[in-house]
Amino acid sequence: MMPALSNPFKYKMNMHKIKLLLAFLMLPMAVLAQEVKSPDGNVCVTFSLTGNGVPTYEMTYKRKSVIKPSRLGLELAKDKHASKGLEETSLMDGFAIADTKTSAFDETWKPVWGETATIRNHYNELAVTLHQASSDRNIVIRFRVYNDGMGFRYEFPQQKSLNYFIIKEEHTQFTMAGDHMAWWLPGDYDTQEYETVTSKLSQIRGLMKQSVTENSSQTPFSDTGVQTSLQMKSADGLYINIHEAACINYATMHLDLDDKNMVFESWLTPDATGLKGCIQTPFNTPWRTVIVSDDARDMLSSNLILNLNEPCKIEDTSWIRPVKFCGVWWEMIVGKSTWSYTDEFPSVHLGVTDYTKAKPNGRHGANNDNVRRYIDFAAANGINEVLVEGWNIGWEDWANRWKQDVFDFVTPYPDFDLKALNEYAHNKGVKLMMHHETSSSVINYERHMENAYQLMNKYGYDAVKSGYVGDIIPRGDHHYSQSMNNHYLYAIQQAAKHHVMVDAHEAVRPTGLCRTYPNLLGNESARGTEYEAFGGSKPDHTVILPFTRLQGGPMDYTPGILETQLSTWSENKNIIHTTLVGQLALYVTMYSPLQMVADLPENYAKFDDAFQFIRDVAVDWDDSKYLEAEPGDYITVARKAKGTNNWFIGGKCDENGHKSVVKLDFLDKGRTYDCTIYADAPDADYEKNHKAYVITHRTVKKGDVLKLMQARGGGFAVSLIVKR
Amino acid sequence: MMPALSNPFKYKMNMHKIKLLLAFLMLPMAVLAQEVKSPDGNVCVTFSLTGNGVPTYEMTYKRKSVIKPSRLGLELAKDKHASKGLEETSLMDGFAIADTKTSAFDETWKPVWGETATIRNHYNELAVTLHQASSDRNIVIRFRVYNDGMGFRYEFPQQKSLNYFIIKEEHTQFTMAGDHMAWWLPGDYDTQEYETVTSKLSQIRGLMKQSVTENSSQTPFSDTGVQTSLQMKSADGLYINIHEAACINYATMHLDLDDKNMVFESWLTPDATGLKGCIQTPFNTPWRTVIVSDDARDMLSSNLILNLNEPCKIEDTSWIRPVKFCGVWWEMIVGKSTWSYTDEFPSVHLGVTDYTKAKPNGRHGANNDNVRRYIDFAAANGINEVLVEGWNIGWEDWANRWKQDVFDFVTPYPDFDLKALNEYAHNKGVKLMMHHETSSSVINYERHMENAYQLMNKYGYDAVKSGYVGDIIPRGDHHYSQSMNNHYLYAIQQAAKHHVMVDAHEAVRPTGLCRTYPNLLGNESARGTEYEAFGGSKPDHTVILPFTRLQGGPMDYTPGILETQLSTWSENKNIIHTTLVGQLALYVTMYSPLQMVADLPENYAKFDDAFQFIRDVAVDWDDSKYLEAEPGDYITVARKAKGTNNWFIGGKCDENGHKSVVKLDFLDKGRTYDCTIYADAPDADYEKNHKAYVITHRTVKKGDVLKLMQARGGGFAVSLIVKR
């Protein structure tokens, strides 16, 4: 034993003092903060290193705190394959600033489809290169600051000491300045189909359990874990939205809340082994985005997430077009007809089960006669396409049986004549829309994908609705993991090769990738209209979604259920939680280049005068003006139809009703417009009197004012057609 | 509270008595055993229900116990998706015999390639239908009893109460009659490339740790877990081999030993979630096989595993042919040249990394000049094909980096002219053999598979060597899981569509599937010759493999390393652990329709007289006679070349040497043969004097006797060519 250690206690005390001294010496005498402001100066982001070289940022809007000082960094996992010991040195601290670069960018680009004809991408940038001496590694943190918020990402240049690494957790923090009001979904690795909860941040923990409702695949992970895009509102009137942009080759981010300190931390979706990402440099993470304004309308008109995505990578986009479609779908959702052809097979073996000898169940929706009926309906009403679900064999045991070889995506049921129906449709100027339900057997889908797309090319399909119901195969993987996100993008890229547009359901929530791959026409990735047949969604649902889910890209919400009482034509006892006119409004308030005309032809026949709005409304726009907005309360927007001078206005509200005053100051001076107003009747009410509506016609001009009463759970829709 | 429960202790005691009584009543008064014997009566298998309806079997050979009474059954896992509670009721007990059927079968079939021109499939069968009352389910246990052993499997008919289930564990037991000698490999979910250990069963536990040597992917699971095929020898002289046949859509079986009772139990390979199989009925498990004899030669000539596989499913097999091949391979294994093209890239991004600007490392094996040299060598020596590894981009960072997009299987390095080299080969009557190293990124391989096979068709390749080095992607899965076994078969089936033969390395050990899919020409799935360059394998290795690894199908062992001292031409200090002649013997003793001529052309030039045997030896046979055999000691076999009257004899021994007396009584009466004997020189020794050999010529006829001395680690090779 060494003499100096003869009194261990004393030794410890000495070491403690030395450590304190060292810590003091390592504190920077003056923290050198880097600041970058938005072009208009309202948004300010400050970067600094704190403590032991910990990257930290904060953000203000008009000098109000949006994000209080918050740490940045990634924790790495031990890589069993790593030959050197450095791979698992976390990228959390020990950094020094090696370089900083600031720059400005201002460009206007044209989306292939969108809410506006052009989009301005205008930001100031700060790129900080950090050096971690212990590992001899450089990383870059890049901030882009816009008038309506900011995004930042981690960049890992290829370098000798950093070629591959495994992410145990990304520890990006977002420290809130208060106990904000939030519109949140329970965090989950496998579903986004929860009802949005409106509460203070401090109430999340208490509300979590009841908010996790049953789903065919679900993996909640924390009592305070929520999904992005997360919309918040501060007590001092700031609207704050956290999401991500350009999530490519990376796991989807959730936010886990430290509800004592109101600190959100990124929480990535793991793979089957619990790890969160395998990275090869050079690599950039997705952008972590914070949109902010003191005007709620700015949240809806923000293009920040699209702007943070890469420009279009598809050279020829002439085959991409917005689509209005109807389909053999709602009748199955409601339970009147079936996806399956027969009730005889307890289970199906593709290639073995002989359908030609099976007794039809008599309720198969995708039969020739029924599909022709929908084609006729589409042709008569200017609807571009007809989706047909349940056309291909395998639906008798399709969901959640851990069945790998569930569909082949090419073999129709005996009562679905693939060739004849496509010809019938094409002769009427209509296309069929393909349906690929994968049952989340990704192994199976990828094996059949090329043949499936070839079949589509052969018969003239140009769009596919894909589905990912149930738990992922390979088992143990999750819907929003790095590998699954790679799969969704792979499917989109392969589709593009075949000039196929994609509408992916139950896939990952979008993060603006439709800018780069505009054949991704839409996603579900939230609770769609189908839930109205499963028990319903709350009336405020559709005045929350545009603030949250739609930040990343359009949603195939499947609106237009004019027969709001399902029991009038089925045994389903549910009602739609909007008025009839509320359904019309969604075609304008829920922006999407892919709009379903979701109800049955016979139901539209019952409300033909109201249906006229659905016939008329555009699905692509030259301009959009958000006139009123408050999350969970109301949204009013006017849009100018692509290539015309016609406008459409939609207003939607929650269960409290809303009174809108719309000043038509966006119309062209000197023109007159035929104005048709689809309004809730004075006694309309989403619970007691759904289908009471009033249609009025008048002539209007720029500067005129429309006063519009929205019923409880109601809305309004207005068409403004230029008089010739 | 009820009065009867006022004394809980008394109540419990009463219940205990009632339970005992019930248990007694449920014991069958007399166990009705079902017996089935082999056609020659030597093998006898008895099935019975014991205890509470537990399926049990035993097996004897000439009245000696082979398998003592052993239970059968499967434990099911809770299926989170199951709507009823029955799905997880295990199929372990509570059975009653509902039906038994016995039958006999005798058929002779012709393999597309093989050790003999025809194979007799002759067995007696017992099928027992068991009913589990508590779940209202039926299962069938089917036994097939051959003269050289037996196989049984579980069958699950499609039925109302059993459409899908999840296997937690298969509990098939094999109770040994003693502490047998065993030739075993450590059980592992990801590698079979261990050195075989020879020990008593009771010694396995003590030897396990040291036997698990390092591998690029490995997951040992138990201190007493071993792989199949497991060869054993009892004290009373029985040779017993446990393996499986027709492992399709099921996890590979290992054996876990209860070394107190000498009971092996099946231990399946799990998926990433730890579960062992997802089953949809109707379904049959693989056959569990027990080969037995008191003559070791019968273990080698047994066709039991092939017979238990389904007949050929490929209609036109005209394109399938046995292949002798050389290749640009050993020079990389030894370390003289490289798979990679350049040393400049720390990591590679396919489609981004620009090889045309990279500086070649000057040691790339698959360059045009070198490949032409091998083509010339093949053409000059009657070798059918030339394997070229390292021809395609991506090798700079190919292994174990969790890199998904590692190869595209179609893009050659700049110095490999795909078109010109194939033309050069074809003009000389030689084909190139394709190489697909997957790095175990199965997701990536399946995405590129169709293009890869199309490229092969375009350029005239008819065979592919595939590789699965490293951990499986999707992460968490294992090389021998149900899903990976599905992948290997998928690759074989897709290859068959393109008339491509497959030689899969690091894939699952074969279970006779080459009968059903004869384009599966070979597998590695064990420690091949490459290990001689990595430190060596023991001299007994090749006189164990035919008893173990080869039971399921041929191995691409890559023999023929005549330059046994690698340092003569490289910086590799290793030696081959056989004599030069021992390498020649392997072409006969290690049956395979796919035989590599693995050494370098310049090395063969040094031993041209010995090389003559490799030029001459056939790769397909009309007949095979195992003349001598003892596991781990020696194997001597004579084979008649397909479509000729010529014979080739090989003898191989372990480190103790062996003296063989070969009576040529299998030759045709009345013919004379040019007999060339390749023998170890009297002073040859695998450690001290590898390359000492003697070649002698004589004329022989039926009944003549050859006396052949095999050196330590040596062997002999004989060609017998009919005189005209």
Tens of pLDDT along B427-445?
999 999 999 999 999 999 9
* Mean pLDDT along residues A141-146: 98
- The pTM assigned to this predicted structure is 0.94
Residue with tokens 């003892």: B630
> Is residue A391 over pLDDT 70?
yes
Q: Does residue A2 have a pLDDT over 80?
A: no
B88 touches chain A (CB under 8 A): no
* Pair B424, B372: CB distance under 8 Å: yes
Mean pLDDT of chain B: 95
- CB contact under 8 Å between B278 and A402, yes or no, is yes
A104–chain B nearest CA distance, Å: 28
DSSP A476: T
Number of Cβ atoms within 10 Å of the Cβ of A336: 16
* Amino acid B475: pLDDT: 95
Distance of alpha carbon B692 from alpha carbon B714, whole angstroms: 10
Q: Express each pLDDT in A493-518 by its tens digit.
A: 999 999 999 999 999 999 999 999 99
Q: Contacts from A313-321 at CB under 8 Å and sequence distance 24+?
A: A313/A516, A313/A517, A314/A496, A314/A517, A314/A518, A314/A519, A317/A112, A317/A518, A317/A519, A319/A462, A319/A499, A320/A112, A320/A113, A320/A501, A320/A518, A320/A519, A320/A521, A321/A113, A321/A384, A321/A501
Residue B446 to residues A431, B7, B263, B436, B705, Cα–Cα distance (Å): 31, 67, 40, 11, 54
Q: Which residue of A has its CA nearest to B470?
A: A81
Identify the residue whose tokens are 């021109």: B117
Angle among Cα A664, A668, A673 to the nearest 5 degrees reads 70
Tell me the mean pLDDT in the region A176-185: 98
Quickly count: other Cβ atoms within 10 Å of residue A183's Cβ. Answer: 23
- Mean pLDDT, rounded, for B284-306: 98
Give the span between the Cα atoms of A487 and B492, in whole angstroms. Answer: 24
pLDDT on residue A78: 85
Interface test with chain A among B449, B475, B492, by most A beta carbons within 10 Å: B475
User: Two tokens at B256?
Assistant: 């876990």
Angle between helices A580-589 and A608-616 (to 10 degrees): 0
Residues on chain A touching B164 (C-beta within 8 angstroms):
347, 401-403
B169, B385, B437, B530: the catalytic one is: B530
pLDDT above 90 covers a percentage of chain A that reads: 93
Per the annotation, the verdict on B530 as an active-site residue is yes
Q: Minimal Cα–Cα distance from B117 to chain A, Å?
A: 33
Is B346 in contact with A166 (Cβ distance < 8 A)?
no
Asked if A88 reaches chain B (Cβ–Cβ under 8 Å), the answer is no
CB count, 10 Å around CB of A481? 28
Enter the DSSP assignment of A312: P
Taking alpha carbons only, the member of B428, B445, B630, B436 closest to residue B546 is B630
pLDDT band (50, 70, 90) for residue B86: low
- Whole-number pLDDT of residue A399: 87
ipTM over the 0.90 cut-off: yes
Give A64's contacts (C-beta < 8 A, 6+ positions apart): A177, A234, A236, A238
User: 3-state DSSP helix/strand/coil percent for chain B, to nearest 5?
Assistant: 20, 35, 45
Cβ count near A606 (within 10 Å): 15
* Arithmetic mean of pLDDT, A37-55: 97
Which stretch of DSSP H or E encloses residue B598?
none
Residue A37 predicted with pLDDT over 70: yes
Greater model confidence, A9 or A413: A413
Question: How far is the C-alpha of A353 from the C-alpha of A370, rounded, in Å?
Answer: 25
Q: Provide the edge-to-edge strand list for the sheet that holds A64-71.
A: A34-37, A43-50, A54-61, A64-71, A173-176, A263-268, A253-258, A225-227
- Structural domain boundaries of chain A? 34-308, 323-619
Buried b (16+ CB within 10 A) or exposed e, B158-192: eeeebbbbbbbbbbbbbbbbbebbbbbbbbbbbbb
Token readout for A62 is 């008009």
DSSP annotation string for B534-577: TT---TTGGGTGGGTGGGGS-B---------BGGGTSS---B-S
- The shortest CB-CB distance from B401 to any of A81, A473, A490 is to A81
pLDDT greater than 50 at residue B18: no
The set of residues, in sequence order, having a beta carbon less than 8 Å from that of A556 and lying 6+ positions away, is A465, A503, A505, A522, A523, A524, A528, A592, A594, A596
- Residue A326: Cβ within 10 Å count: 27
> Cβ contacts of residue B200 below 8 Å, gap of 6+?
B179, B180, B181, B182
- In whole angstroms, give the CA distance from residue A329 to residue A390: 9
Give chain A's radius of gyration (CA, Å).
Answer: 27
Indicate if the pLDDT at residue A24 is higher than 80: no
Residue A83 has what pLDDT? 58
Q: Are residues B224 and B204 in contact, defined by beta-carbon separation less than 8 angstroms?
A: yes
pLDDT tens per residue across span B668-718: 999 999 999 999 999 999 999 999 999 999 999 999 999 999 999 999 999
**Ramachandran quadrant class, A226 (left: phi over 0; alpha: psi -120 to 50; beta: rest):** beta
Q: Select which of A530, A532, A563, A655 is catalytic.
A: A530
Could you tell me which chain B residue has the CA closest to the CA of A471? B81
In this predicted model, what pLDDT tens digit does every residue of A434-485 receive, in sequence order?
999 999 999 999 999 999 999 999 999 999 999 999 999 999 999 999 999 9
What pLDDT, on the 0 to 100 scale, is given for residue B89?
82
Cβ of residue B280 closer than 8 Å to a chain A Cβ: yes
List C-alpha distances in Å: B712 to B561, B614, B680, B681. Answer: 17, 22, 9, 11
Nearest to B152 by CA among B299, B285, B307: B285
B397 touches chain A (CB under 8 A): yes
pLDDT at A648 over 80: yes
Helices B442-459 and A442-459, axial angle in degrees (round to 10):
50
In terms of C-beta density within 10 A (0-12 exposed, 13-18 middle, 19 or more buried), how is residue B328 classed? buried
Nearest CA in chain A to B166: A402
Q: DSSP assignment of A578-621, as one string? A: S-HHHHHHHHHHS--SEEE--S-HHHHHHTHHHHHHHHH--SSE
CATH architecture of A323-619: Alpha-Beta Barrel (3.20)
Tell me if chain B has a CB within 8 Å of the CB of A470. Answer: yes
CB within 8 Å of A690: residues ≥ 6 apart: A564, A565, A575, A576, A578, A579, A580, A684
- State the pLDDT at residue B371: 98
Tokens of B696: 């002698």
pLDDT at A346: 87
A656-698 residue pLDDT tens = 999 999 999 999 999 999 999 999 999 999 999 999 999 999 9
Across B340-358, average pLDDT:
95
Please tell me the distance from the alpha carbon of residue A563 to that of residue A575, in angstroms, as a whole number.
9
Q: Which residues of A touch B347 (CB under 8 A)?
A: 158, 163-164, 280-281
Torsion of CA A467, A470, A475, A479, to 10 degrees: 60
Given this model, what pLDDT does residue B237 score?
97
Distance CA B652, CA B626 (A): 12
How far apart CA B562 and CA B604 sit, in angstroms, is: 7
Q: Say yes or no to pLDDT of A3 above 60.
A: no
Considering CB atoms only, which of A79, A160, A166 is closest to B346?
A160
For residue B374, CA distances in Å to B335, B381, B437, B509, B562 come to 18, 11, 21, 30, 16
Chain A closest CA to B569's CA: distance in Å?
Answer: 29
Question: Is residue B659 within 8 Å of B710, Cβ to Cβ?
Answer: yes
Q: Find the angle CA(A542)-CA(A546)-CA(A549) to the nearest 5 degrees.
A: 100
Taking CB atoms and an 8 Å limit, are A474 and B474 in contact across chains? yes
B79 has pLDDT over 70: yes
Secondary element (H or E) of residue A231? strand A230-233
Q: Which helix (H) or strand (E) holds B637?
A: strand B634-641
Residue A683: strand, helix, or coil? coil
Is the CATH code 3.40.50.2300 the one for domain A34-308? no
Spell out the SS3 assignment of A6-70: CCHHHHHHHHHHHHHHHHHHHCCCCCCCEEEECCCCCEEEEEEEECCCEEEEEEEECCEEEEEEE
Helices A418-427 and A442-459, packing angle to 10 deg? 50
A504 in Cβ contact with A552 (< 8 Å): no
Structure tokens at A233: 């509102």
Confidence of residue B80 (pLDDT cuts 50, 70, 90): confident
Residue A22 has pLDDT above 70, yes or no: no
User: Angle between the B482-497 and B442-459 helix axes, to the nearest 10 degrees?
Assistant: 20
Distance CA A450, CA A128 (A): 43
Give B87's pLDDT tier (boundaries 50, 70, 90): low
